[in-house]
Amino acid sequence: MVGFGQQIKREAPDGWGDMMLDYEALKHRIKLAKGAGTDLLVRKALENSFQHLLDSELEKVLAFYKTISPGLVRSIGALKAETGRVARALHKSEDVERLASQWVAEAQNLHKLLLYLSLNLEALRKILKKANKSSCLSVEPRPGLVKLRLQLGDWNVEQGSFLPADIVEEINVMKDHPELEEAAVTVKVALQELDVMRKQHAKGGRLSLHAFSREGRSSHRVNKSLKVLHSQVEKVRLAQIQIALDDVGNRAKAAASIIEATPYLHLVAKAGIFTPAPPENRAHATVQGLLINLAGAFLYMTNYNLVLPTNEAYLNHLDSSSSYAGAVVGFSDLTAVAVSFVYGWWSNHTFKQPLVASSLLSLLGNLLYVAAWDSSPGGLALLLASRLLVGLGSCRAVNRRYIADFVSKKRRTAASAAFVAASAGGAAIGPLLVVPLAGLSEFKVMGHLSINPITAGGALMAVMWLLYTAAVWILFKDPPLNREDGDEDGDERHEGEFPEHDNNSITRPLLGGGETSGGGRVDMQPVWVTIYALFTLKFVQQGTLSSFPEFAHNFYAWTTGKIGVFLCVASLAMLPLNFVVAILAARYSDRKLLFSCEALSVAGLLLMLCLNGRRPLLPSYVCGALLVYGTTIAMESCSMSLLSKKIPGSMRRSTCNAGLLATQAGSFGRFLGNMAITLFGALLGGGHLSAKIVLFDLVFFGTLLAATAVLLVYTLIMYRRLD
């Protein structure tokens, strides 16, 4: 029986033997490790030695594949275009001969690359299987590094590595090779089209390309100029080409289907915006689980925006300054930022418990919201406490993580879109609830809790959270968690392991993660631009939304019902805006869209300023508010896209990763946008703002304008580096 190492040498494409995965050397390292005895230091050194060699060999194969594959795909594409031009013209037989010769050559090159890929994938599969049988070579996955996974039926093999998570996508693209599969189809179709063109030149007889070599010797009716084609087709006939490409393609596909590379992440980083979809066998999300998480996102956003139209009336009832409207909204952000870390840790062990806990906290927060109405002394403190509890009920990190960790790649886009839609729908429904509740007659429950058009929203949300808690308890089932992924101490270094931060460490891969350029420092400026953009857009967006009821009421005597409808319509209008941004993103660069949105946001803020000491006209103010809201929504998409392209690998892998920084920057911006209303109200003397509304407009929107202008200048300065 011939060993697999000898089989690789025998079947390796001519001239590519040195670029094959060195199966024999890896197998030799395994033998050395088995004979290492009981010395832990020696065993650990051999374990690392094997893994470094495996990483190096995998990078070698990946680098060679990336060198050959793009050129081959481009060559086949160009030949396809030329074949189309010849087919449309009154082609000569010489053209057909030349194209047939070229297509046969490309088919041979494609067959060669597919064979190279299939042999290396088979070698990787076999060596991972051998390493797993040797317990001393089981390298634990570590945060921020690639984890190789082998699936054989119900048996899974997981092997850590020292490769950076940045190259996961490149490994999986090589493994799945969709561009080569498409090229194989192109080659087969092109050869069939050439057969049809050849028949148009043949004189008499129904002649196929693969039969031409046989009949060409006996038939004088065949054009003499096609004899050159005979020698080419004789080597690799049409049927043989198709069979060969199919065989080697199926062989590569079979090997690829059981190997997978994924980044190993933990805690909040694991559920970040850059987390790849789980493999199919780990996609444990159920319909009930998805619906419950979407319902949680919907209810929280409804609860968050519920108070916007009624804030001023509630504060007036408590004899408090209407400038506290910003604090009432912003206190939810304060606790939501802090609790996201707790829920991120908690969801390492269970999803059901944080969902239940968050819903109960939100329920309690809404009960306090109702109770604050009848608490004359200390009513404001109770109102703010209720909003703190609502913020503690923000379980959106768990909702996002459920989708990130357990929804399959095929369904993930739809699930993410549903999450965005649920959040936007809740943001729209919250202010709109004031309309059906406006005609409610006041009554009391439990003897002292007043239910009226202002507090009824809180009472309704308390009931909804109670029903949601029951639904979670009865219907939600915790997905099976992979305990290896929940490594509580990702930074713990075992004896004999090399430190990740050591620049001279052997753990540094051959192919860098793109973190340095020419040995220099990482260019972090594009990252800071995008993070500052995320902070500023949330600061401006939330400040505009939270202050809108105050200005609309004092400038234009709008009722709470009218304000609620406007905020609802504005939120719903942002859904189609996202589709428009997606279309524009296909034609224009992210930096161009970001800069344009910043400029439009400045224009919108200018429309809301009391420039002549008088209130702005109603159309001007409404258009400005819609323009600011819309452009900040678009800026968020552009900023996140830029961030995903510009972050260095180290910021994807660390606990304080880019996804977390982006989330916290946005949350902090939203918190400051709300608190700015309270701060400027206090600076202007407190009390009701109606007497100083024009001055408040100038100070507040002037601040938002200044922050946006700074972002505009910063983006312009860094414009070239955002490319």
Q: What is the pLDDT of residue 516?
A: 40
Residues 6+ positions from 584 with CB-CB distance below 8 Å: 593
Sign of CA dihedral 592, 428, 540, 527: negative
Asked if pLDDT for residue 486 goes beyond 60, the answer is: no
Tens digit of pLDDT for each residue in 350-375? Answer: 999 999 999 999 999 999 999 999 88
Across 673-684, average pLDDT? 83
Residues 6+ positions from 256 with CB-CB distance below 8 Å: 121, 175, 176, 177
Q: What is the pLDDT of residue 691?
A: 63
**In terms of pLDDT, which residue wins out, 485 or 386?**
386
Sign of CA dihedral 545, 393, 432, 554: negative
* Alpha carbon distances (Å) from 354 to 351, 402, 667: 6, 12, 20
Structural domains in the chain? 4-131+168-253 (no CATH), 292-485 (1.20.1250.20), 524-723 (1.20.1250.20)
Across 110-117, average pLDDT? 85
Amino acid identity for residue 550 in this structure: E
Q: What is the pLDDT of residue 595?
A: 92
**In terms of pLDDT, which residue wins out, 24 or 204?**
24
Asked if pLDDT for residue 501 goes beyond 70, the answer is: no
Q: How far apart are CA 179 and CA 173, in angstroms?
A: 9
Across 62-89, average pLDDT? 83
| DSSP string over 38-72 | T-HHHHHHHHHHHHHHHHHHHHHHHHHHHHHHHHH
Asked if pLDDT for residue 498 goes beyond 60, the answer is: no
Across 270-279, average pLDDT? 49
Model confidence at 464, pLDDT cuts 50, 70, 90, reads: very high
Q: How far apart are CA 706 and CA 168, in angstroms?
A: 41
Q: What is the mean pLDDT of the chain?
A: 76
Q: What backbone torsions phi and psi does residue 446 show, to the nearest 5 degrees?
A: 55, 25
Tens digit of pLDDT for each residue in 551-565? Answer: 888 889 898 888 888
Q: How far apart are CA 629 and CA 541, in angstroms?
A: 6
Model confidence at 233, pLDDT cuts 50, 70, 90, reads: very low
- Give whichever of 152-161, 343-352, 530-539, 585-594 has the largest mean pLDDT: 530-539
Model confidence at 285, pLDDT cuts 50, 70, 90, reads: confident
Nearest to 620, CA basis, from 604, 634, 632: 604
CB 700 within 8 A of CB 676: yes
CB 289 within 8 A of CB 477: yes
Q: What is the pLDDT of residue 298?
A: 92
**In terms of pLDDT, which residue wins out, 438 or 626?**
626
Across 251-277, average pLDDT? 50
Tens digit of pLDDT for each residue in 682-699? Answer: 777 655 566 688 888 899
Q: How far apart are CA 334 and CA 327, in angstroms?
A: 10
For 356, other C-beta atoms within 10 Å of its C-beta total 18
The residue to which tokens 């549903």 are assigned = 418
Q: What is the pLDDT of residue 489?
A: 36
How large a percentage of the chain has pLDDT more than 70? Answer: 72
Strands 145-152 and 449-451: unpaired
Across 95-110, average pLDDT? 81
Asked if pLDDT for residue 436 goes beyond 70, the answer is: yes
Model confidence at 708, pLDDT cuts 50, 70, 90, reads: very high
What is the model's pTM? 0.55
Q: What is the pLDDT of residue 601?
A: 94
Q: What is the pLDDT of residue 200?
A: 65
Q: What is the pLDDT of residue 198?
A: 65
How large a percentage of the chain has pLDDT more than 90? Answer: 17
Across 172-201, average pLDDT? 77
Asked if pLDDT for residue 264 goes beyond 90, the answer is: no
Asked if pLDDT for residue 254 goes beyond 70, the answer is: no
Asked if pLDDT for residue 704 goes beyond 80, the answer is: yes
Q: What is the pLDDT of residue 461?
A: 94
Asked if pLDDT for residue 494 goes beyond 70, the answer is: no
Q: What is the pLDDT of residue 621?
A: 93
Lowest mean pLDDT among 21-25, 171-175, 296-300, 407-411: 407-411
**In terms of pLDDT, which residue wins out, 359 or 410?**
359
Model confidence at 130, pLDDT cuts 50, 70, 90, reads: confident
Tens digit of pLDDT for each residue in 133-164? Answer: 765 555 666 666 777 766 655 556 677 777 77
